[in-house]
């Protein structure tokens, strides 16, 4: 099989990640729950991972790094912490992990304004200026890279447009691990991280990092191993946002992924940009193909075949060519509407994709492009 | 090290669990997100695990089994689904994973009544009758076994006392995998399952099973891979309660644990009951020791040393004897208050504990019991 669905779940993890996570499965004491040596050893690893991630993302120290089961949970903690009377700005490029919690907040009274795309398929910054001008938003929730097209807004420009007191919440699902993300340099107040994609961790890993001016509230309540006499959640981070047993193997995998990326992010980025550029070049020469991506470091190439529905293309690629891609809406319905698409084929590369996959893939698409509608 | 902290996290997993989970780390396609062969293979495994757990717990079919990151998340989904004007009955034996979400609901307007212990340290069923009589409760939230003492209420008797329309929500953190739990036979409407303890799965695994008359609401919102055009969560289970990428390795580990337990639960139970009985017998002969547990199938033995604080006992056992136990409140403050304790030492066994651990442990406690206060 040629696995080109890395934007859904990274299909290859470095040995250091697999080895550490597999060892953690077998160790399995409970970090933060007991005072014996095994539990304390796990706890120390958890805290060193908080520091590691805070450094990796230009964050605000270990207290402001909480572990979540996926990026969606991290986004929910951040978004559902916004008061129900907030005006919130977001974009049509967002994933349902942003759209659905925002639409839930809307039912509770929030005003949610969607920024459209411009003619280039980027976020329309003039529309953002107008949205900010009409009434100041409490928060903006913006993806660092579209999971559909691999298009990324210029966050520095976005930040300049937002009022100084507007919280900037970023969905890092597709960006983290692919490009450097520095919360302090970019003025990001909350960064939601997926562990199992660019960060090279395992499924079940994720994190939310947040600034000193944003104080997220719990969405779950339970044991923290701290202040056990207290029937409320402890009023300090990270405990306030972490109920129940932590997923130690997942946390270890995130640490190993981040350590690996400190060495390799630059070369990964170059490899992935090269894959997308070559794929797009080939697809543009292919009959019946309309490409929606530009070369990008997120590994994403989306396109339409005029003669076949996107899910049918994905199915045929899997069944006939052993190639894994994703068709359909990719859990991001509004950007499809904005692009005039009712579904695209998305191939997503990682630095571990074999280089010959580009040619195998585009040749297979070429064969399908000639089929009768 | 002798690991007697299995009630925090199970310290030993069968080979089948570790092998399957480690393999799943490396496979790592995204179940339910794409239509290619690898994703579909993961998806089939996820659905077969839903069916397996539904059978294992006498549940209500695969739609009514949702995967959570831990038992706490499962309890939060169930409890936070109760309307804010509910009267809810619970017990002083509950863990903070029940107490803290209930106290949160109380702030939103719910009435929460705590049932005390009787003189035997069991749930006081006469007090339960009185609580039900004063005003009919919408729900009762009751642990199947105390994580502090290993005491378990007779759920069949509890069920008889509750009005027919009262939802019965059970915390199965310490019971599942240790004794058979049959939701239909016992009339349980929601069962919260910890994956990483008696069920022999890995950290990051957990589940909520629920009956046909209980319709839990989401606490997070996000991509489900279904109805992606819909900005609300899909209005069907399990999708409605599962946002974001599922933790495939954790789900696989739960499946393997349940398959293993189908064969071995009886012998596990006998082994664990034997460990607790022998430990309690030895401790009762030890000076300065006051035991709070009776022999039980959950592997839990809690006690006080009159001459040493519980955390100091746990620390000394770890440092001087290489034995891992847990001191303190075990995230269950109200049962300690009810027992007149300000902290207990808890040793917790599993079927994989070496039999000689009982003697090593009780001899170490004997040595500590003679120290000057």
Q: What is the residue-wise DSSP string for B20-39?
A: HHHHHHHH---TTT--SHHH
pLDDT > 90 in chain A, percent: 96
Nearest CA in chain A to B72: A244
Structural tokens at position B282: 């030895």
CA–CA dist A293, A278 (Å, integer) = 12
pLDDT of B28 > 80? The answer is no
Q: What is the mean pLDDT of residues A54-83?
A: 98
Q: What is the overall mean pLDDT for chain A?
A: 96
Fold of B2-10+264-369: 3.90.1150
Asked if B243 lies within 8 A of A73 by C-beta distance, the reply is yes
Residues B76, A204: C-beta atoms closer than 8 Å:
no
Q: How many residues does chain B have?
A: 373
CA closest to A240 among chain B residues: B100
Does B229 contact A at CB distance below 8 Å?
yes
Separation CA B142–CA B136 (nearest Å)? 16
Band of pLDDT at residue A123, cut at 50, 70 and 90: very high
Encode pLDDT of A259-288 as tens digits: 999 999 999 999 999 999 999 999 999 999
Name residues 99-118 of chain B within 8 A of A (Cβ): 99-101, 103-104
| Structure confidence at residue A243 (pLDDT) | 97
Task: Decide the pairing of beta strands B323-324 and B139-143.
Answer: unpaired
CA-based nearest residue in chain B for residue A336:
B229
A152-198 confidence digits (pLDDT tens): 999 999 999 999 999 999 999 999 999 999 999 999 999 999 999 99
Is residue A15 within 8 angstroms of chain B, CB to CB? Answer: no
User: Beta-carbon neighbour count of residue A218 at 10 Å?
Assistant: 23
User: Is residue B148's pLDDT more than 90?
Assistant: yes
Give the end-to-end CA distance of chain A in Å, rounded to a whole number.
26
Q: Residue B325 pLDDT more than 80?
A: yes
- Closest residue by Cα to residue A365 from A326, A316, A319: A316
**Cα B365 from Cα B283, distance rounded (Å):** 8
Confirm or reject CATH 1.20.1250.20 for domain B15-261, answering yes or no. no
- Domain span(s) for CATH 3.90.1150.10 in chain B: 2-10+264-369
Averaged pLDDT for residues A8-33: 91
Tell whether the model's pLDDT for residue B168 goes beyond 80. Answer: yes
Higher per-residue pLDDT: A29 or B265: B265
Q: At which residue do the structure tokens 């960060």 appear?
A: A199
Mean pLDDT of the region B122-129 = 96
Q: Classify the complex by whether its ipTM is higher than 0.90, answering yes or no.
A: yes
Got the DSSP string for A91-108?
A: ETT--HHHHHHHHHHHHT
Q: Which of A34, A69, A72 comes nearest B223 by C-beta?
A: A72
Does A2-10+265-369 carry CATH code 3.90.1150.10? yes
What is the average pLDDT value for chain B, to the nearest integer?
A: 97
Identify the pLDDT of residue B29.
87
- Which one of B33, B222, B345 would you mutate to disrupt binding with A, by most A Cβ within 10 Å of its Cβ? B222
Contacts of A23 in chain B (CB under 8 A): none
Query: Could you tell me which residues come within 8 angstroms of residue B134 by beta carbon, excluding any fewer than 6 positions away?
Result: none
SS (H, E, C) B286-303: CCCEEECCCCCCCCEEEE
Within 13 Å and on the Cβ side, how many CA atoms surround A175? 21
CATH 3.90.1150.10 range(s) for chain A read 2-10+265-369
Interface subset of A 260-289, CB within 8 angstroms of B? none
How far does the CA of residue A225 sit from the closest CA of chain B (Å)? 6
Confidence of residue A29 (pLDDT cuts 50, 70, 90): confident
Per the CB < 8 Å rule, is B248 touching A203? yes
Predicted structure pTM score: 0.97
Cβ–Cβ gap A18/B26 under 8 Å? yes
Predicted confidence band at A203 (pLDDT cuts at 50, 70, 90)?
Answer: very high
Q: CA–CA separation, A356 vs B73, rounded Å?
A: 44
pLDDT on residue B26: 82
């Amino acid at each position: 099989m040629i696995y080109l669905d890395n934007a859904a779940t990274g299909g290859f993890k470095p040995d250091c990640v697999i080895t550490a996570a597999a060892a953690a499965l077998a160790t399995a004491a409970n970090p933060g729950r007991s005072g014996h040596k095994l539990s304390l050893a796990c706890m120390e690893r958890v805290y060193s991972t908080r520091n590691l991630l805070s450094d990796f993302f230009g964050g605000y120290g270990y207290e402001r790094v909480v572990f979540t089961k996926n990026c969606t949970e991290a986004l929910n903690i951040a978004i559902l912490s916004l008061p129900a009377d907030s005006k919130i700005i977001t974009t049509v490029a967002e994933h349902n992990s942003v759209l659905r919690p925002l639409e839930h907040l809307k039912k509770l009274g929030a005003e949610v304004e969607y920024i459209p795309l411009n003619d280039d398929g980027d976020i329309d910054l003039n529309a953002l200026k107008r949205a900010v001008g009409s009434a100041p938003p409490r928060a903006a929730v913006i993806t660092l890279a579209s999971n559909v097209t691999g298009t990324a807004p210029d966050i520095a420009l976005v930040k300049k447009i937002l009022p100084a007191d507007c919280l900037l919440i970023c969905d890092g699902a597709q960006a983290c691990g692919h490009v450097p993300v520095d919360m302090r340099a970019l003025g990001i107040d909350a960064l939601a991280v997926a562990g199992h994609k660019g960060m090279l961790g395992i499924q079940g890993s994720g994190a939310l990092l947040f600034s000193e001016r944003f104080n997220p509230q719990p969405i779950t309540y339970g044991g923290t191993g701290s202040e056990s006499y207290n029937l409320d959640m402890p009023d300090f981070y990270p405990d306030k946002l972490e109920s129940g047993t932590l997923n130690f193997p997942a946390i270890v995998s995130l640490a190993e992924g981040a350590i690996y990326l400190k060495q390799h992010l630059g070369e990964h980025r170059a490899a992935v940009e090269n894959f997308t550029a070559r794929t797009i070049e080939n697809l543009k020469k292919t009959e019946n193909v309309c490409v929606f991506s530009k070369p990008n470091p997120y590994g994403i190439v989306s396109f339409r075949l005029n003669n076949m529905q996107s899910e049918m293309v994905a199915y045929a690629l899997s069944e006939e060519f052993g190639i894994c891609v994703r068709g359909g809406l990719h859990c991001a319905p509004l950007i499809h509407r904005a692009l005039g698409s009712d579904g695209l084929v998305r191939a997503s590369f990682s630095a571990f994709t074999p280089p010959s996959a580009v040619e195998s893939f585009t040749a297979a698409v070429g064969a399908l492009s000639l089929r009768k509608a």
